[in-house]
Copies of this chain bind each other. A is one copy, B any other.
Amino acid sequence: MSTPAQQLTTTSYAVLGLLCLRDWSAYELVTEMGRGWSDIWPRAVSGIYREPKKLVAHGLAKDRAARTGERSRTVYSVTPEGREAFRTWLATPTHAPQLEAEALVRAGFAEHGGVDDLLATVRQARSFAIERSRVYAAIGDEYRTEGPRFPERVHSIMLVGGFLARYFAAIIDWADWVESHAATWDDIGDADAISDLDALRADVRARVEANLARAR
């Protein structure tokens, strides 16, 4: 038996992780990845539909046809080999996080626009973090009223929640910091016109050094 040509990726393992929890139809996998994982592993719908097929090709999952009325759908389940492969993957080194923050690209060239542009950008980033926090607060409420969907793995979910809460807090904190300074700026085009530049520098320096002070 030859190795299938398509390589398994982090996305493959994320889907495999879901299959280790229960059987899912392809649509359910798409919905679950969109609802529960897109803040830390965003993937296009088409890509998610591809993954379980790859897992089947690798022998890590099995598919079966199911029906809703005359409507056909495919349900995927994990194989023992799949469980083993997932456990093995968890023991491999992790890739570094990658952040794509267009708002930061814009802030990094703020001098080419206006103060209003910068403030609008910052407020959009802030709104994003608040809205996402709102979604997770609702999930927390749901857990407390109806119980978690997978009670046996709540501790793992809390680890993710703890990260996201801190990540969104960092965005909100940053946005407020920028706004507190930029709102006083008349002219953004030249650093010479920024009267509180030293305060900006001092904040950054103190925080970077605080991070380094936590090195082991």
Known: A91-B114, A100-B97, A106-B90. A168 touches B211 (CB 8 A): yes
Q: Which of A45-53, A65-73, A146-154 contacts B (4 or more CB under 8 A)?
A: A146-154
Return chain B residues, CB-CB under 8 Å to A161: 204, 208
Return chain B residues, CB-CB under 8 Å to A214: 130, 172, 176
Q: Using a CB-CB cutoff of 8 Å, which residues 124-173 of chain A contact chain B?
A: 124-125, 128-130, 133-134, 136-137, 140, 151-163, 165-173
Tell me, yes or no, whether A35 is within 8 Å of chain B by CB: no
Contact check, A102 vs B211: say whether CB atoms are below 8 A apart: no
Contact check, A154 vs B197: say whether CB atoms are below 8 A apart: yes
Tell me, yes or no, whether A81 is within 8 Å of chain B by CB: no
Q: Which of A23-31, A56-64, A188-196 contacts B (4 or more CB under 8 A)?
A: A188-196
Contact check, B95 vs A212: say whether CB atoms are below 8 A apart: no
Copy count, this protein chain:
2
Return A45 CB to nearest CB of chain B, in Å.
15
Tell me, yes or no, whether A186 is within 8 Å of chain B by CB: no
Known: A133-B211, A160-B107. A87 touches B101 (CB 8 A): no
> A130 contacts which of B112, B124, B211 (Cβ < 8 Å)?
B211
Separation of A83 and B152 alpha carbons in the complex (Å): 56
Separation of A40 and B97 alpha carbons in the complex (Å): 11
- Find the residue from A124, A133, A171 having the highest chain B CB count within 10 A: A133
Contact check, A112 vs B152: say whether CB atoms are below 8 A apart: no
Return chain B residues, CB-CB under 8 Å to A176: 214
Question: Which chain B residue has the least Cβ–Cβ distance from A210?
Answer: B169
Separation of A212 and B121 alpha carbons in the complex (Å): 20
